[in-house]
Structure 1
Amino acid sequence: MTRVLIVGAGPAGIRAAERLVAAGLHPVVVDEGARAGGQIYRRPPAGFTRSPRTLYGSEAEKAVALHRRFDAMLDAGHLTHHARSSVIALAGQAAQVLGPDGVQPVAYDRLILATGATDRLAPVPGWQSAGVYSLGATQIALKSQGVALGRRIVLAGSGPLLTLVAFQLLKAGAQISAVLDTAPISTQVSGGVGMALARPLVTLRGAALRVRLGRLYHAGVKLTKIVSDGTGPTAVLWQDARGRERSSPCDMVGLGWHLRAETHLSDLAGVSMAWDSGFQQWLPQTDAFGRAGDGVYLAGDGLQILGADGAELGGKLAASACLDDLGLPSSDTRRLLKERRRMQRFAEAMQRAFPWPAQMVRALPADTVLCRCEGVSVGDLKAAVPLSGPEANRAKSLSRVGMGRCQGRYCQLAGAEVLAASSGVPVAQIGRLRGQPPVRPAPVAAYLDRGAD
């Protein structure tokens, strides 16, 4: 039987597995979570008392349906699930999987990458302090453990996730000092028209959440500094849309500017990348089904940021492409392709409504920490430009930007803006940091044969 490996058990991975199982295949699914669901439908530990409606809001029925479908396939023995595991390398039609028992190879004939996305972060002076988290980490703590990471919280960034996390925290009883959105009202209105035309109900739901934030929400702000003492943040300094200086007291800060596609494994699999000026990031190149060639297929936010519904569609399309290439029957995909195009129109409008704050990043003071892993400042990166030129990997070698645990996930896009501004070239010309294994931190002990003398 053909060996199909699916990396990721979020909406895209679950729907891909479902379609493969229906065709008689037995896929292997690797996921970092303890149970399937992904970030958007992350499941809490057993015995957790908060209801799905409380955890997932209006998406509760979708979340529960996906959870049940995956669990049913697993209980029936129709797939193999490696939980709490990460694919850290790809080579020779085998994935190196890091799990609770160390690293083991998992061979495959076909590979479906449903790796999802991570937070897209922009540096803010002072963001290296303990107590400054991404919006995704803030949401994980709330969903997984029912924990608010601070007693007085400021959330800052832009995009629907900013509003959603703020609403979820308020609903859970957390105290929020301010929700600071760098996107001006003007861009939100112009992009919002396109969002409403593509997905009116989703747009209306997001607007309703925004209204419920009331005076906590501020649009068109400029973030000046995160002030901290020895215990963590004490305030966020910012300018409002009129240029007035403001300060919001806090003991925790959550940051995020929408999402960034997780592409490290796609890179190792040899998938071509291209700069997307709308999404302001490097994205994998595939056909409409997610087919990247050589038995590799992409689905979900790891291909393009389309959200949970778009991820489900992408999982079905990638699995259909895989089945077609194997000569096996698959369902009609015309409706799926039409629906995915609608999701793309919505996502493109969303990027216009909540743009990446390129100018804010380019204007950062020289002493601002750019790479939190390595403690590299904006000035350190600029100092490397005379020798590196406008090339991401040479600048990395000379400055250590992107050499830390995150491998550039949090600093690459901001670093490219700094390099582009210093060199006077378009940001796309800077290039991208090359992916290299292991794509996740792995302890040396995981590679040791525990049975050896």
Structure 2
Amino acid sequence: MTAIETARPTAPRIVIVGAGPAGIRAAETLVKAGLRPVVVDEGARAGGQIYRRPPAGFQRSAEQLYGSEAGKARSLHDLFDRMAATGALEHVAQSSVLAVGGGGKDAGLHVLTPDGRRVLPCDRLILATGATDRLAPLPGWQAPGVYSLGAAQIALKAQGVALGRRIVLAGSGPLLTLVAVQLRKAGADIAAVLDTAPLTRQAAALPALLARPVFALRGMMMRARLGRLYRSGVTLQEIETDENGPVAIRWTSAAGRVQRSECDMVGLGWHLRAETQLAGLAGCRFEYSELWSQWLPQADRMGRVADGVYLAGDGLRILGADGAEIAGRLAATACLQDLGLAAPDPAADLQRLARMERFATGIARAFPWPAAQVQALPDATVICRCEGVTAGHLRQTAAYGGAEANRVKSLGRIGMGRCQGRFCQIAAAELIAGQAGCKPAEIGRLRDQAPVRPAPVGAWVQDAPP
């Protein structure tokens, strides 16, 4: 038995963390089997990041918010709302899971709710925690007015605002193009869209991308709408700033010409980074993926990772929203199988999953992590924005303490801040490996620690009312 398992009542207590596409489909599968899961989510309303819902009374339509995905978004929203309204599931909204495990009265999930900390007993745990932006630092990125692509998209979907008057978006991956098109459609002034991935890499990945031809064609059409704003194969040099934030971004074109794009906001993002802290606390094993340049949890095809623990969605395999729905059904199906209950036949979903994985492999190859750009960062570049750790300090710490991630963390404070390494760990691994002359996989992974989200001290002193 794992730390999250406690004495089981008549019906198994199943908790799903995350109410995005994976969490919603997992809940649907369990409800159809006659179970009543608990769904914990940080949002006020279900939908996740890709189908994030604005506040009630917001005037923009689903078509304006989600474009061609409006029908899928409505379907998932309506499905979850029906299940919650009829009591088929318990929705614990605006709440963060801080820790997994414990003993005695503290056995279960420790959840920070608007009313305080709550401990949820749990026999089975499905983690559908999704992903966050994968960020590569560059000089000036710590300034106000520099955001992740995901943050820019959240502001647009949740509040209908652009975060700047003249915007440069930089990085690589499908989200770069999508956010640019969404902002332009909303009337924002986009100065440039700078992609570090060369066109040759993107073209070479086309056979794998054709595993989902409609999706690939849609991406090409969005790219075409950007016209000359889009530049591929660039090398980012520096975000120029003043006391108010960005004033311009300097970059080198694929042809080697130095360029300067004036702006007052910069959005950065290199595809996605799996959100894995809770998976680590729940006992999951990890392996370094050279393809994705990050540590990913290991699971079977259905999402099983440990006794009573299942993963679904981008927190396991970075497959996007459609793949997350499939993975959510599979994880719930695995849970039902392990409980000895009637479960859907997973064969069709496993076939769909294989196609999604071929496409995702193409995405990873087409839009690679800019390792060389990160390793060449000047010493003065801030790597950990929470703690103000620079590239030079990180290199010195690695040279002094040895090329092991947790040792460098303890000596140099990298990853000790508010985000716990979510935004600096991948870049830090590149710099440590570069200093030591080894591969990022050889320096190890930062250990997961509770609480995985910032929490007030009072949350550990006084529990929420029952």
TM-score normalised over the length of structure 2: 0.96
Corresponding residue for 2:21? 11
Aligned-pair CA distance for 1:389: 1.2
Query: CA separation in 1, counterparts of 2:189 and 2:461?
Result: 47
Partner residue, 2:263: 250
Report the counterpart of residue 167 of structure 1 in structure 2.
181
2:144 is the counterpart of 1:130: yes
Q: One-letter code of the match for 2:328?
A: G
CA gap of 1:359–1:438, structure 2 versus 1, over 3 A, is same
Q: How does 1:15-414 map to 2 (within 5 A)?
A: 15-92=25-102, 93-196=107-210, 198-414=211-427
- Measured in 1, the distance between the counterparts of 2:66 and 2:131 equals 18
Cα distance between partner residues in 1 of 2:460 and 2:57: 34
Q: Is the 8 A contact 2:133 2:270 kept in 1?
A: yes
Percent of aligned pairs with the same amino acid: 63
CA distance in 1, matches of 2:321, 2:154: 16
CA offsets 1:371-412 (integer angstroms, 9 cap, x no match): 011000000001112332111000011111100000000000
Counterpart of 2:149, as a letter, is L
Instruction: Give me the whole-angstrom Cα distance separating, in 2, the residues matched to 1:170 and 1:260.
Output: 26
Runs of 4+ in 1 over 3 A off after TM superposition: none
Deviation at 1:117, TM superposition (A): 0.2
* CA distance, structure 2, for counterparts of residue 450 and residue 307 of structure 1: 36
1:170-225: CA deviation from partner (whole Å, max 9, x where unpaired)? 000000100000000100111123202x1000000000000000111000000000
One-letter code aligned to 2:160: G
Question: For residues 16 and 216 of structure 1, do their structure 2 counterparts lie closer, same or farther at Cα, with a shift above 3 Å needed?
Answer: same
The residue identity in structure 1 corresponding to 2:171 is: G
Q: Which runs of 5+ in 2 are unaligned?
A: 1-10
1:42 touches 1:144 (CA, 8 Å); kept in 2? yes
Deviations 1:97-136 (A, max 9, x none): 0010111100100000000000000001110000000000
- Whether 2:439 is the aligned partner of 1:429: answer no
Judge conservation of contact 2:287–2:297 (CA < 8 Å) in 1: yes
Looking at structure 2, the residues matched to 358 and 451 of structure 1 have their Cα atoms a distance apart, in angstroms, of: 45
Q: What displacement does 1:427 show? A: 1.2
Find the aligned partners of 1:451 and 1:284 in 2 and give their Cα distance.
32
Give the superposition deviation at 1:445. Answer: 2.5
- Within 1, Cα distance between the matches of 2:159 and 2:206? 34
Shift of 1:451: 9.5
Once residues 433 and 191 of structure 1 are traced to their aligned partners in structure 2, the CA distance between those partners, rounded to angstroms, is 31
RMSD over aligned Cα atoms: 1.0
Alpha carbons 2:323, 2:356 under 8 Å: kept? yes
Verify the 8 A CA contact 1:85 1:98 in the aligned structure 2. yes
TM-superposed CA distance for 1:270, in Å, is 0.4
- Secondary structure class of the residue paired with 1:441: coil
Letter of the 1:182 partner, please give it: T
Q: Secondary structure at the match of 1:256?
A: strand
**What SS class does the counterpart of residue 147 from structure 1 fall into?**
coil
- CA distance, structure 2, for counterparts of residue 382 and residue 5 of structure 1: 42
Specify the SS of the correspondent of 2:236: strand
Residue 450 of structure 1, CA deviation: 7.6
The secondary structure found in structure 2 opposite 1:157 is strand
- TM-score, scaled to structure 1: 0.98
Instruction: Kindly provide the CA deviation profile for residues 137-159 of structure 1, in whole angstroms up to 9, marking residues without a partner as x.
Output: 00000000001000000000000
- CA distance in 1: counterparts of 2:66 and 2:457, whole angstroms: 38
1:448, distance to aligned residue in structure 2 (A): 3.2
CA distance in 2, matches of 1:432, 1:253: 29
Letter in 2 for 1:16: A
SS state at 1:130 partner:
coil
- Structure 2 letter corresponding to 1:26: R
Between the two proteins, the alignment pairs up a number of residues equal to 451
Task: Judge conservation of contact 1:35–1:83 (CA < 8 Å) in 2.
Answer: yes
| Residue type of the alignment partner of 1:125 | P
Residue aligned with 1:227, SS: strand
Structure 1 residue runs without a partner (length 5+): none
8 Å Cα contact 2:118/2:463 also seen in 1: no
